[in-house]
Amino acid sequence: MYNLAVLWYTFLCHIELHFFAHSGLVQQALVEQLYQQRIQPGAREALLATTEAVFGGNRQSVDLRNTLVSLPKEVLVVWGNADSVIPVAHAQKARLVPKSKLKIFVGCGHCPHIERADAFNQLMTSFLGE
């Protein structure tokens, strides 16, 4: 019989591959860090509650466009064009938000802040310095 921790760890190794366009970026240290986070007391319950709140009924139920429109400052939306978690079409809708800028990283998945860390940091530094 498999140990639940081994099954959970194996699942994390598999699921994290969906967050990146290039699976080679998924390093053992990242999987280990995520595993350690997920086994903290209350982590499973918090993740399930968040998932139900955002994706209840098997569809995304949170639409932040109205919130973004109400913000007094310019908004920067960053996305990867190869995002298999939330498709880039969602980012395209951000163009409809006044005072928004959209940056789509080509060849990048759900985690542009990791996959394109240097470019992401330069983008943030530039945006926040405006």
pTM comes to: 0.71
Among 19-28, 40-49, 105-114, top mean pLDDT goes to 105-114
Stated as kind and residue range, the H or E segment containing 1 is none
pLDDT exceeds 80 at position 22 = no
Check pLDDT > 80 for residue 91: yes
What Å distances lie between residue 125 and 87, 117, 122, 128, CA to CA?
26, 12, 5, 5
